[in-house]
Amino acid sequence: MNTSVAATARLLGAGLRALLVLTVICGVLYPLALTGAAQTLFPGKADGSEITDQGGRTVGSSLIGQTYTLPGGDPEEAARPDPRWFQPRPSDGLGANSVNTQYTLLLSGATNRSADNGAVDGACPKDAEEGTLCAQVTAAQRAVVADNSTASYTVAPRDVPADAVTSSGSGLDPHISPAYAELQVHRVAERNKLGVERVEQLVREHTEGRTLGFIGEPRVNVLELNTALKSLIRS
Amino acid sequence: MSSQTAGLLQLLALIGALALAYRPLGDYMARVYSSQKHYAPERWIYRAIGADPAVEMRWPAYLRGVLAFSAVGVLFLYGLQRLQGSLPGSLGFVSIDPDQAFNTAASFVANTNWQSYYGEQAMGHLVQTGGLAVQNFVSAAVGMAVAVALVRGFARSRTGELGNFWSDLVRGTVRVLLPLSVVGALVLVACGVIQNFAGIHEVGQFGGGTRQWNGGAVASQEVIKELGTNGGGYFNANSAHPFENPTPFSNLFEVFLILLIPFSLTRTFGRMVGNLRQGYAILATMGVIWVAFTGLMLWTEFAGRGPALEVAGGAMEGKETRFGIAGSSLFAVATTLTSTGAVNSFHSSYTGFGGGITLLGMQLGEIAPGGVGSGLYGMLVMAVIAVFIAGLMVGRTPEYLGKKIGTREIKLAACYLLVTPALVLCFTAAAMALPTPAGSMTNSGAHGFSEILYAYTSGANNNGSAFAGLNADTQWFNSTIGIAMLLGRFLPMVFVLALAGSLARQKPVPETAGTLRTDKPLYAGLLVGTIVIITGLTYFPALALGPLAEGLAA
């Protein structure tokens, strides 16, 4: 009995020593060496790909989506989108799952609603229960149609692309599809008193194709587009 | 180019890249685990451990090493989280509650990486980098060690000796995982994955004002999270977060990392048993299942059936624009057919059938190609079952790789097969029968059931992904999923090592005209059939209540 207890203790001791040695290697030396290499080779990227506007002020990261909303309003209500700027995708998953109140940290997350969430008899009803995916998608579609139709340009619900009415996985999607950007051009041009063609050109300049022609999807970076739009307005 | 065509081209590019790496990496790993030479830094490590790497171990000794190392790992990680608030490098986060700390410790040591916490809001530098990321390395190395021990069981005869656990653990970590991680992490940083120790800081915003961000050593953890088929994200959104997976290329690269070692290990297996064609048969079986699942997933997600998705005009809920439907589907299949569980899109919002494919992928036992190491030993156990079934059909004592599959071997293989389904189905049934667990569901009806079935499937199979609408941070889920993860990881290892010991003791049976050729397409077909039928019969009733009901209603 005593020998088996001693043997077990010896074994656990070996396990602990192995863990400590490997912790030093994989948990201290490796991340520190890598941070050094990353900061030397790709300093901007390792720190979060921050971008600046014309005046040199940091406006965020090209990788992280932001909201472009009107200031003020009722703090209880969701902020209203500012029609002068291109709007990102909805992010209905954010904010609902905050667990740490110590910080107002940027939190990522999806809605995790199922494809039939809020559906009745296999279809989304007109008055889907609030907070369900059916209600979110229907409301978002109605808002996109209403916000983007101008005197000379009417948006039909079938023209609204899927990314305009769905939340992304991270809730921080920095991109929208070229179709959604195109759909917003008339509104943005009107609100900023710019020519439609000039804004269309701006969207084209900021449309990224697939990497090597086949990896990923074509997309428009909203922050970069809005930053370019801002300098266009100022000039 | 249509999105569908682009998706197929991405799949082909992935196959091409894996094929290029297959031979060099598989052969290299075979040399790593066969070589007698110890490098100087490794000798220092052995001296620190106090272990002689040259001592051969029989299966009980090997198993004791695995269990002792893992038990210490659980305790260490538990303690680190419980003390977080009092230790430096916590970023001001408080200590983790006991039930959640147990769940997370079990999760990372069991190579599962189920997360009931929110990474960016709960874990500081010390726990993430010094605790969780370390287990990402060593739990993967333990998986590879056990797989190599089983391979030695087939390769050796009249001995019972399976190698040295400490040597396999250290070599897997420093010769395989570390070098690949360094290269892979730098590729990820070049794409835009962050790597800093900035902590919580303010960043200016477009509309004026600032936002708080949590910086961290993300690239160094992201790479081993995929390479070691771990899956625990630095951030809550996991690989959907742009700081973990910033570009379409980084996405494809991460899928490549997930599949790299599990596929290449079949070459290592062929090399070590001295018959490369045996490795190819296993590879073909894994490859066929993986490609078929990917095809089905692309089909159902592009079809986009489901009430809310049809209103939206496409299955983009929970998916990122830069990856699109194709890049998300490729990732989802790779992560659930291996034991990774990282996600770049949220499976709960997939079509009914799409969610079902991710569930079924895990329920196959994660063997196509499976987790690092665990995929290979899981598939070899299936291969033993398949020769047994073939043996029954022709009335001959089954053999595999020159070893007789007798009563003892088949008992051990059958026990292995029963562990995870028993855990999944019993815990799911208990959670559904009790009054409180259902309160954690976000969705109702068939999908609500799927959330719970998914949670235990993911835990017991050591996957770690989730139908994340489920609020799993309750004492019930933290405790039961924690237990499911530990039993689902270590009980099968007991049977695998016992099987390895029993095989290694045998003397080889000479091959005759009546021997089933296990290196032929016919056998690979039989193996695919065995896997699908056994899994199908086990889980069909549960799947019918969840994803099948949802998918057929859409």
pLDDT per position as a tens digit, B544-553: 999 999 999 9
Sign of the four-CA dihedral B342, B346, B347, B351: negative
**Contact in structure between B139 and A24 (CB atoms under 8 Å):** no
- Looking at the predicted structure, is the pLDDT value of residue A73 above 80? no
Q: Would you call A169 and B240 a contact, using CB atoms and an 8 Å cutoff?
A: yes
Q: Which of A4, A10, A26 to mutate to test the interface with B (most CBs of B within 10 A)?
A: A26
Chain segment B199-250, per-residue pLDDT in tens? 889 999 998 888 888 899 999 999 999 999 999 999 999 999 999 999 999 9
Q: Which residues of B touch A18 (CB under 8 A)?
A: 45, 48-49, 51, 69, 166, 169-170
Q: ipTM score here?
A: 0.95
Q: Is A127 on the interface with B (CB under 8 A)?
A: no
8 A C-beta contact, residue B236 and residue A97? yes
**A118-155 residue pLDDT tens:** 999 999 999 999 889 999 999 999 999 999 999 989 99
* Nearest residue to B111 (alpha-carbon basis) of B216, B33, B219, B224: B224
Contact A114 B181 (CB under 8 A): no
Handedness of CA B335, B340, B344, B348 (dihedral sign): positive
Classify B165 as helix, strand or coil. Answer: helix
Say if the Cβ atoms of A11 and B251 lie within 8 Å.
no
Burial string for B84-117 (b: 16+ CB within 10 Å, else e) reads beeeeebbebebbeebbbbbbbbbbbbbbbbbbb
Instruction: Search chain A and give the residue with CA nearest B201.
Output: A105
Say if the Cβ atoms of B189 and A45 lie within 8 Å: yes
Hey, are the CB atoms on A103 and B1 less than 8 Å from each other?
no
Please tell me the predicted confidence (pLDDT) of residue B514: 84
Q: Does A36 contact chain B (CB < 8 Å)?
A: no
The per-residue DSSP string of B443-473 comes to S-HHHHHHHHHHHHHHHHTT-----TTS---
- Tell me the pLDDT tens digit for each residue of B230-240: 999 999 999 99
From chain A residues 213-232, the ones with a CB under 8 A of any chain B CB are 213-217, 219, 223, 226-227
State the pLDDT at residue B104: 97
Cβ(B196)–Cβ(B215) below 8 Å = yes
Decide if pLDDT at A107 tops 90. no
Contact B72 A19 (CB under 8 A): yes
The pLDDT confidence band at residue A97, using thresholds 50, 70 and 90, is very low
Predicted local confidence at residue B116, as pLDDT? 92
Name the percent of chain A lying above pLDDT 90.
80
Q: Residue B199's pLDDT is what?
A: 87
Residue B412 lies in a domain: yes
Task: Kindly report, residue by residue over B336-357, the tens digit of the pLDDT.
Answer: 999 999 999 999 999 999 999 9
Whether A113 and B251 lie within 8 Å, measured CB to CB: no
Whether A169 and chain B come into contact, CB under 8 Å, resolves to yes
pLDDT above 90 (res A201): yes
Taking CB atoms and an 8 Å cutoff, what residues of chain B touch A28?
130
Please say whether the beta carbons of B108 and B129 come within 8 A. Answer: no
Average pLDDT score over chain B = 96
The answer to whether residues B136 and B110 touch, using CB atoms and an 8 Å cutoff, is: no
B450 falls within a domain? yes
| 3 state SS for B43-91 | HHHHHHHCCCCCCCCEHHHHHHHHHHHHHHHHHHHHHHHHCHHHCCCCC
How many domains does one find in chain B?
A: 1
| pLDDT above 90 as % of chain B | 91
Is the model's pTM score more than 0.90? yes
Domain ranges of chain A: 1-47, 50-234
The range of the structural domain enclosing residue B398 comes to 371-553
Which pLDDT does position B62 carry in this prediction? 97
Chain B residues close to A48, C-beta within 8 Å: 194, 196, 203, 213, 215, 243
What dihedral do alpha carbons A27, B479, B338, B238 form, nearest 10°?
A: -60
Check CB contact under 8 Å for A115 and B550: yes
For the cut 50, the answer to whether the pLDDT of residue A100 exceeds it is no
Check CB contact under 8 Å for B215 and A47.
yes
For residue range B459-509, list pLDDT tens digits in order. Answer: 999 999 999 889 999 999 999 999 999 999 999 999 999 999 999 999 999
Query: Is A131 in CB contact (< 8 Å) with chain B?
Result: no
Is residue B332 within 8 A of residue B347, CB to CB? The reply is: yes
- Which secondary structure element, helix H or strand E, spans residue A37, and what is its range? helix A30-41
B1-31 exposure pattern, b = at least 16 Cβ within 10 A, e = fewer: eebeebbbbbbeebeebbeebbeebbbbbbe
**A88 touches B at CB < 8 Å:** no
pLDDT band at A96 (very low <50, low <70, confident <90, very high): very low
Residue B535 lies in a domain: yes
A226/B217 Cβ within 8 A? no
Question: Among A85, A11, A140, A149, which residue's Cα sits nearest to residue B317?
Answer: A140
Identify which of A11, A71, A211 has the shortest CB distance to residue B247: A211
Any domain includes B524: yes
CA distance B267 to chain A (A): 27
Q: What is the pLDDT of residues B376-393, one digit of tens each?
A: 999 999 999 999 999 998
> Distance between alpha carbon B91 and the CA centroid of its chain, in Å?
30
Mind telling me how many Å the CA of A224 is from chain B's nearest CA?
10
Confidence (pLDDT) at B69: 98
pLDDT at B469: 87
- Spatial distance between the Cα atoms of B404 and B402, rounded to a whole number of angstroms: 7
Instruction: Inform me whether the pLDDT recorded for A99 exceeds 50.
Output: no
pLDDT higher than threshold 60 for residue A95: no
Peptide bond between residue B398 and the one before it cis (omega within 30 degrees of 0): no
Q: Which residues in chain A touch residue B304, judged by CB atoms under 8 angstroms apart?
A: 162
Q: Taking Cα atoms as reference points, which of B270, B268, B373, B280 lies closest to residue B31?
A: B268
Residue pointed to by tokens 């297996």: B269
Task: Read off the pLDDT band of B293 (50, 70, 90).
Answer: very high
Handedness of CA B213, A232, A80, B242 (dihedral sign): negative
Q: Is residue B83 part of a domain?
A: no
Please state, for a pLDDT cut of 70, what percent of chain B lies above it. Answer: 100
Chain-chain contact of A113 with B173 (C-beta, under 8 angstroms)? no
